[in-house]
Structure 1
């Protein structure tokens, strides 16, 4: 007979699974980390895992969303008018964001091998749709913030959001772009994006 947990225990175990999952995924990667290893570190039976998450992919996705939220919060709060050079500040913000994405082991791991394919296959469509909608909403909110702070956006904000997403997708294709020209390509892409789509009032 399986044990029943009270609400405090449920929350504690869920948080512990997330914490240990983050540690193990970062250290060993998604493929080499097993549910057994995670539950062993938490101190629960392997079968208990499924009371909290339907799969290893779902746990990873929850952790990934938390990582992305921290990145969004960090850059959404940047004061682009601090030095009276909004365009320069936005370029710097985008470069820092790209660097964070490039060096975050949890985000990078998603794109190794068939990890992305497995993730998309295992997760319910409504979960993925909600995630993509939240991403779009976050970008649109940031663009609206720039408009409200005096930046005039000449193009439909949804198109700008799409361009920014394209910028982040490029970080996954260093080999295709060419490792030797990747950094200069990204720098130029950011300069052209900001100078071409956003101008100071």
Structure 2
């Protein structure tokens, strides 16, 4: 254990670094937030930051995983109800809306943040994260199958299609602010109608 902090202090400080990091990253993004900005808010020396994280990118990445976990947990608890096809469309819309309203996720693809993270984080950590993302939707699809839904494609392809819709949501500016809502609605309708077999 690093000198200077007791175990309970380590937990408290790490929690504060995550809390203040989230606030600053949401407001300013990764590039415009310095380690000194974060440690000043927490009340520790800048050098002490490295007892908890190797870089601000690693802190950002941990916060990112926490935010994504919240979204995943919420999705797994949603009920398909009487009209599963409409429910799935609404689930995808809800997921996209949550991402659009979570600045730290938006910064990821709009401010070269992903490139900075890729440069700083160990490849195995990134690989584990992306594999986890890919694996997440498979149990969700299997859960939908319990409702009696059948798909035109294997679960991994359905998963890939749904992830593509999420990635498309980061291209709002390129698509055009005015055209974006109807465009996304069209792609969601087309994707869900295409992968679900008619009863």
Q: TM-score, normalised by structure 1?
A: 0.93
Q: Is the 8 A contact 1:102 1:171 kept in 2?
A: yes
What does residue range 49-68 of structure 1 map to in structure 2 within 5 Å?
49-68=49-68
Q: Is the 8 A contact 1:151 1:200 kept in 2?
A: no
My pick for the range that moved more, 106-115 or 35-44, is 106-115
Q: Does 1:110 align with 2:102?
A: no
What does residue range 155-170 of structure 1 map to in structure 2 within 5 Å?
155-170=153-168
Q: Partner residue of 2:173?
A: 175
> In 2, distance between residues paired with 1:80 and 1:129?
32
Alignment RMSD (CA, Å) = 1.5
- CA 80–200 in structure 1, closer or farther in 2 if over 3 Å, else same: farther
What does residue range 73-84 of structure 1 map to in structure 2 within 5 Å?
73-81=73-81, 84=82
Q: Partner residue of 2:48?
A: 48
Q: Partner residue of 2:6?
A: 6
> In 2, distance between residues paired with 1:10 and 1:199?
52
Q: Partner residue of 1:152?
A: 150
> In 2, distance between residues paired with 1:151 and 1:166?
21
Write out the 4+ residue segments of structure 1 that deviate beyond 4 Å after TM superposition. none
> In 1, distance between residues paired with 2:8 and 2:186?
51
> In 2, distance between residues paired with 1:127 and 1:51?
19
Q: Partner residue of 1:16?
A: 16
> In 2, distance between residues paired with 1:87 and 1:199?
10
Gaps of 5+ in 1: none
Q: Is the 8 A contact 2:110 2:170 kept in 1?
A: no
Local SS of the residue matching 1:49:
helix
Q: Partner residue of 2:138?
A: 140
Q: CA deviation at 1:113?
A: 2.8
Number of matched pairs: 198
Q: CA deviation at 1:29?
A: 2.1
> In 2, distance between residues paired with 1:93 and 1:113?
27
Q: Is the 8 A contact 2:107 2:113 kept in 1?
A: yes
1:136-163 Cα distance to aligned partner (Å, 9 max, x none): 1111110111112211122111011110
